Structure 1
Amino acid sequence: MIILAYAIVYIVWGSTYFFIQKALSGFPPFLLGAFRFIAAGILLMGWSVIQGEKILVGKKIIPSAITGFLLLFVGNGIVIWVEQFLPSAMVAILISSAPLWFVLLDKPKWQENLNNKLAILGLVIGFGGVILLFSERVTSAMHSINSGRDLFAMGLILFSAAAWAGGSLYAKYNASNTSPTVNTSWQMMTAGVAFIPGLFISGELSSFDISAVPLNAWLSVLYLVIFGSIVAFSSYVWLIKVQPATKVSTYAYVNPVVAVLLGILFGGESISLTQISGLIIILGSVLLINFDKYRSPVKTTSASA
């Protein structure tokens, strides 16, 4: 089950960057976020009711609501908004900095992580990789008309990665004994509702024409609801409870590979050698950060023997 959950998070989430951009061809960002997560939340709640689970438990809803707000509204919502004007491959690569945030924000594990020489080396190398990754985009943005917007978008994506790591760690250390399905459904409903004010502030509803939405946008939304939200996010919520947070964060170095391949094969996107170099450096840093996590099961087994 753990291997299957990792495979789902690695592959399915890597594809969501591509499908988000396709969905944005017919849906404005706030409407897309509200529709996607409310639909997924309703489906999961319905399944929970069918299974005879209690869904209205006040004290247990609050941690799920906080997690959903940080992960899906702040973390994923920023990605949805930014993908209006940044290529999906670029967004996916920038999000690959998330494992660095996991190490920095995991306070209960600071002594373990920060006293780990490989983890510190990984952080330093990862920082260099992020600088290299941003270099061409920042340089070109400064000389373009939309430089301010592009730089702001880059800063938002970094904040998105930090919010995602923070929300994941909050979920790990404040998990209730409610079923994962119920927890996930409330996380999605909270995020979906949080998107609604943006509909009115941005004026998206007044300009939205449902009859003009192309079929590929509808199919992309369907994929995001079923696979991106229900299947992959549920797998992630379960993994973050049963596995070390830094190890689960390794999804971030597989997702960009999938996203880049899809963007190149189907989206007509391109990626430079400098960006590839930055991505490789970041991936190497994540491997260093998690190196002891990979070795620990072997050590434990030897000690037990």
Structure 2
Amino acid sequence: MSAPAPPPRLLVILAFIAVYFIWGSTYLAVRFGLAGFPPFILVALRYIVAGILMLAYCKIKREAFPPIKLMNLQAISGILMLVGGTGMVAWAEQYITSGQVAVLIAAQPLWFLILDKANWRQYFSEKYIITGLLIGFLGIFLFMKLGHEEASKTSTMNVIAMIGVQIGAMLWVVGSLITKKSKGSSSVIMNSSIQLIAASIFSALVALVAGEYSGYSFTHVPLNAWLGLIFLITFGSLVAYLAYIWLLGHVAPALISTYTYVNPVVAVFLGWALADEKFYSGQFIGLTVILIGILLVNVPGYRKSKVE
């Protein structure tokens, strides 16, 4: 039996561009969205539209819903990833810049290694992974410490927001691990639609508890906030996400993981160029150390992909 034909090179390039640059730009789109929407109302709207569109696509193809047990697991994972993870990003951007959030989120692969207990034996038998973890978390500490010392207007909420982003990154990893173990036979798009819709409902409840609806009116939302929301729905939750899923089926995971290095650089540059966000030299040192740690963590995966 002949090996499957490699995917068209142009499609691979376009998919990587989407994952690299669109995902990197969503942090700034969130900031624009926050100009007119409270954080959890923003993410609730983003998820419900994208989730309904994905579900409609699946039903047009006559795809059945997964069993109730798997639907519940997908809903839980969606709430953890999209409310605890992405929702925390939106909340944190009220206090720190989009570039700072993106840099802190870059440490997410490190939390995956810490929380994926089932594979600890494999992970921690690799000297590169252990070294990368230590360096990566040192980078997080330097980013928070040095940036805090350089920023004259840093407040307690800035620090709390940075810690909140790390908590969000951990929740994203926990949700991802649940998703990994509960895929079932349903398509990725079907499972994603369930995650998005569940996250939207939960985000709306969080917004209610947080008092975001009190005195709020859509009539006062500026154009740039609507454009930010539209960008998050169409490009962030649909185009880039589907490009990522497509790459998973055609390219080695170690190569796909390179988006971890590009996203924060894109976010920092766009925040500086389009939103006048400040990025201090101490934070640049922290970013560099974090990326070195992630690079070392991924060395075993790069070696494996070359062998295969």
Asked if TM exceeds 0.5, the reply is yes
Q: Paired residue for 2:260?
A: 252
Q: Output aligned runs, 1:74-89, within 5 Å.
A: 74-89=84-99
What is aligned with 1:261?
269
1:217 aligns with 2:239: no
Q: One-letter code of the match for 2:76?
A: I
Matched, 1:102 2:112: yes
What is aligned with 1:126? 136
Q: How many percent of aligned residue pairs carry the same amino acid?
A: 39
Instruction: Quickly say closer, same or farther: Cα 1:194–1:297, change in 2 above 3 A.
Output: same
Equivalence for 1:177: 185
> Alpha-carbon deviation of 1:52?
1.3
- Pair 1:127–1:203, CA change in 2 (3 A): closer
For 2:96, the aligned partner's letter is L
Q: Given the alignment of the two structures, is residue 90 of structure 1 paired with residue 105 of structure 2, yes or no?
A: no
Name the SS of the counterpart of 1:224 in structure 2. Answer: helix
Cα drift, residue 107 of structure 1: 2.1
| CA-to-aligned-CA distance 1:98-138 (integer Å, 9 cap, x gap) | 11111112223212211101111111111221111111334
Find the aligned partners of 2:280 and 2:64 in 1 and give their Cα distance.
51
Preserved CA contact (<8 Å) 1:63 1:175: no
Q: What SS does the corresponding residue of 1:91 show, helix, strand or coil?
A: helix
Distance 2:150 2:239 in 1: 38
Number of the residue aligned with 1:62: 72
CA deviations on 1:18-49 (whole Å, 9 max, x unpaired) are 00000110111121111110111111111111
Residue 121 of structure 2 is aligned to residue 111 of structure 1: yes
2:72 is the counterpart of 1:49 = no
* Greater helix content: 1
CA distance in 1, matches of 2:251, 2:108: 17
CA spacing shift, 1:239–1:61, aligned 2, 3 Å: farther
Q: Shift of residue 281 of structure 1? A: 1.2
Partner Cα distance (1:243, 1:69) in 2:
28
Query: After alignment, is 110-119 or 250-259 more displaced?
Result: 250-259
Judge conservation of contact 1:72–1:188 (CA < 8 Å) in 2.
Answer: yes
Structure-to-structure mapping, 1:6-25, within 5 angstroms: 6-25=16-35
Compare 205-214 and 19-28 and name the one that shifted more.
Answer: 205-214
Contact 2:81 2:171 in 1 (8 A): yes
1:74 and 1:246, CA in 2 relative to 1: closer, same or farther beyond 3 A? farther
- Are 2:175 and 1:167 equivalent residues in the alignment? yes
Give per-residue Cα distances to partners, 1:221-275, cap 9 Å, x unaligned: 0110111112223444566788887765543322101101110110111212211
> What is the match of residue 229 of structure 1?
237
Residues 103 and 184 from structure 1, CA distance in 2 versus in 1: closer, same or farther, beyond 3 angstroms? same
* Structure 1 residues 71 and 240: CA distance shift in structure 2, 3 A: farther
> Residue type of the partner of 1:67?
S
How many aligned residue pairs are there? Answer: 298
1:64–1:183: 8 Å Cα contact kept in structure 2? yes
Unaligned residue ranges in structure 2 (runs of 5+): 1-6
Q: After alignment, is 181-190 or 61-70 more displaced?
A: 61-70
CA distance in structure 1 between the aligned counterparts of 2:177 and 2:244, rounded to whole angstroms: 12
Structure 1 segments unaligned to the other structure (5+ residues): 301-305
What is the root-mean-square deviation in Å for CA atoms of aligned residues?
2.4
Match of 1:155 among 140, 154, 163: 163
Matched residues in 2 for 1:269 and 1:176: separation?
Answer: 43
**Separation in 1 of the partners of 2:187 and 2:278?**
42
- Which residue is 2:42 aligned to? 32
SS at match of 2:214: helix
Counterpart AA for 2:35: S
AA partner of residue 227 (structure 2): L
